[in-house]
Amino acid sequence: MSGINNRKQTKRQVGASYVTTIISIMLVLFTLGFLGLILLQARSLSRYIKENIGFEIVIKKGVKDADIFRLQKILDARNYVKSTEFITKDEAAARLKKTLGNDFISFLGEENNPLLPSLEVRFNADWASSDSLKIIEKNVLKNSIVKEVYYHKSLVDVINKNISRIGFILLAISLILIVISVALINNTIRLAVFAKRHTIKSMQLVGATNAFIRRPFVQRAVLHGALSALLALLLLSGVTTLLKENIPELQMLEDRFTMLMLYLSVFLSGIAISAVSTWLAVTRYLKTGSDKLYG
């Protein structure tokens, strides 16, 4: 009777250790996935900010619209240009009125509008640097209809410098958390395998090969890793949905392909880390002598 009770108790302990392992791995994978999500959003935000850095190309007085459209077409064909927008004199006046809060044009008269037409140019993120913008500015100024090119030179440097600094900090934090996460998963699995150390040694004593002993442990680890990863991804999806509902701007930064790659990476990482850690833990007890199992 006591033997049956002991077996039941052992089964409960093993079952509890499996649940604890799955939950522990799930939480670690969720942390890694959420960190990956932050990195992806930071990267998307960086591109979004850079692609909103641009020129205002002021056109000379008296230039025909056809000549401005011709310049706009030339710019649109450049690989470094993301978009262009033609701003007429009237549109420029309307924007200035909205900014200042009063209509100075009605005071001067429509025919005396001193504002000039312009082209607003936005660049692809890879070209949004001071050196690249200087070269582009120089080339644009060669066009005979261009009066001047205006953009915040100091702001470009500040934005790029801060983006680089934030990226470096996030990368450093990511590496530290990855090391900690792998160590936590490894220790959790080692504790789970520790509860089965006597079974491992018994199988070894009756002549089972090391590969035969490892196989069921590794297979179970793959299953636990996959289950943990799926639970972590469900939790991550819930948090992501909640964030997008409260911060709608995040939706425009979302890239479905990169999100798919993130989810796939978390899933495969859960399986790989769990399987490798289990393989190493079982191997350790295979090499441990019977007299040291209680040590």
**What digits encode the pLDDT tens for the residues 108-141?**
555 556 678 889 999 888 887 888 888 888 888 9
Instruction: Please report the domains of the chain, with CATH numbers, ordered by start residue.
Output: 2-48+159-292 (no CATH), 54-150 (3.30.70.3040)
CB of 119 within 8 A of CB of 72?
A: yes
Sequential DSSP letters for the chain: -HHHHHHHHHHHHHHHHHHHHHHHHHHHHHHHHHHHHHHHHHHHHHHHHHTT-EEEEEEPTT--HHHHHHHHHHHHTSTTEEEEEEE-HHHHHHHHHHHHSS-HHHHH-GGG-----EEEEEE-GGG-SHHHHHHHHHHHHTSTTEEEEE--HHHHHHHHHHHHHHHHHHHHHHHHHHHHHHHHHHHHHHHHHHTTHHHHHHHHHTT--HHHHHHHHHHHHHHHHHHHHHHHHHHHHHHHHHHHHH-GGGGGG--HHHHHHHHHHHHHHHHHHHHHHHHHHHHHHHSS-GGGTT-
- Burial class of 227 by CB neighbour count within 10 A (0 to 12, 13 to 18, 19+): middle
Predicted local distance difference test score (pLDDT) of residue 227: 92
CA 128 from centroid of its chain's CA atoms: 20
| Arithmetic mean of pLDDT, 188-204 | 74
Which of these, 133, 167, 170, 171, lies nearest to 153 by C-alpha position? 133
For the chain, give the percent of residues with pLDDT over 90. Answer: 9
Token pair 């990195």 is found at 39
Take residue 235 and report the two structure tokens written for it: 């939790």
* pLDDT tens track for 208-234: 788 888 888 889 889 988 999 999 999
Measured in Å, how far apart are the chain's first and last C-alpha atoms? 30
| Arithmetic mean of pLDDT, 283-287 | 77
CB of 119 within 8 A of CB of 59?
A: yes
- Burial class of 99 by CB neighbour count within 10 A (0 to 12, 13 to 18, 19+): exposed
Predicted local distance difference test score (pLDDT) of residue 105: 56
Bridge-based pairing of strands 146-150 and 81-87 is unpaired
> CA–CA distance from 238 to each of 2, 70, 243, 267, 271 (Å)?
46, 49, 9, 16, 22
Average per-residue pLDDT for the chain: 78
What is the distance between the alpha carbons of residues 279 and 283, in angstroms, rounded to a whole number?
6
* pLDDT tens track for 36-63: 888 777 777 777 777 777 888 888 888 8
Predicted local distance difference test score (pLDDT) of residue 3: 46
Q: Whole-model pTM?
A: 0.63
- Burial class of 2 by CB neighbour count within 10 A (0 to 12, 13 to 18, 19+): exposed
Predicted local distance difference test score (pLDDT) of residue 161: 77
Considering only the C-alpha atoms of the chain, give the largest distance between any 2 of them, rounded to a whole number of Å. Answer: 106
Indicate the residue type of 160. Answer: N
* pLDDT tens track for 140-189: 899 989 999 888 777 677 777 777 787 778 778 778 877 877 777 777 77
CB of 120 within 8 A of CB of 87?
A: yes
